[in-house]
């Protein structure tokens, strides 16, 4: 009966996003994606999405490097004690962008190994 039993409990309701919150989240993740692109060459593909799962609203920003594995950062914005236009603070956006760019660059380095010629001494 793997969870589809009519006798199983109901799951708690997930918070619904208001239009203002959804726009604020879109703007925030667009800024994270744009900042991540600023750190990386054009060969890296950066994308983002807002989804709703069992843990509530989930924001994901991902980078597909030209070699190596993709990297992503997913987090759940806090809806308590913040204004609708500050669901992801500026400092967090910058930190996520830097972390993603560094992780994506490391994936390329790990995938290429020692085959990359040194460009400086």
In a domain, 53, yes or no: yes
Q: What is the distance of C-alpha 36 from the center of its chain?
A: 11
In a domain, 120, yes or no: no
Which range of residues forms the domain containing residue 95?
19-110
Distance separating alpha carbons of residues 54 and 75, to the nearest angstrom: 13
Q: What is the full per-residue pLDDT of the chain (121 aa) written as tens digits?
A: 455 555 555 454 555 777 888 888 899 899 999 999 999 999 999 999 988 877 788 889 999 999 989 999 988 877 665 555 567 778 888 999 999 999 999 999 888 887 666 665 5
User: pTM here?
Assistant: 0.74
Distance separating alpha carbons of residues 64 and 69, to the nearest angstrom: 7
In a domain, 42, yes or no: yes
**DSSP type of residue 61:** E
CATH code of the domain in which 104 resides: 3.30.160
Of 32, 30, 46, residue with least CA distance to 96:
32
């Amino acid at each position: 009966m793997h969870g589809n039993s009519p006798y199983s409990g109901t799951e708690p309701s997930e918070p619904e996003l208001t239009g203002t919150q959804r726009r604020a989240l879109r703007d925030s993740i667009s800024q994270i994606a744009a900042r991540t692109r600023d750190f990386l060459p054009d060969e890296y593909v950066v994308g983002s999405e807002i989804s709703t799962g069992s843990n509530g609203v989930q924001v994901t920003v991902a980078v597909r490097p030209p070699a190596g594995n993709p990297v992503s950062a997913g987090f759940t914005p806090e809806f308590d004690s913040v204004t609708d236009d500050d669901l992801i603070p500026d400092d967090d956006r910058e930190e996520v962008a830097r972390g993603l760019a560094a992780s994506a660059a490391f994936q390329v380095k790990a995938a290429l190994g020692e085959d990359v010629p040194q460009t400086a001494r």
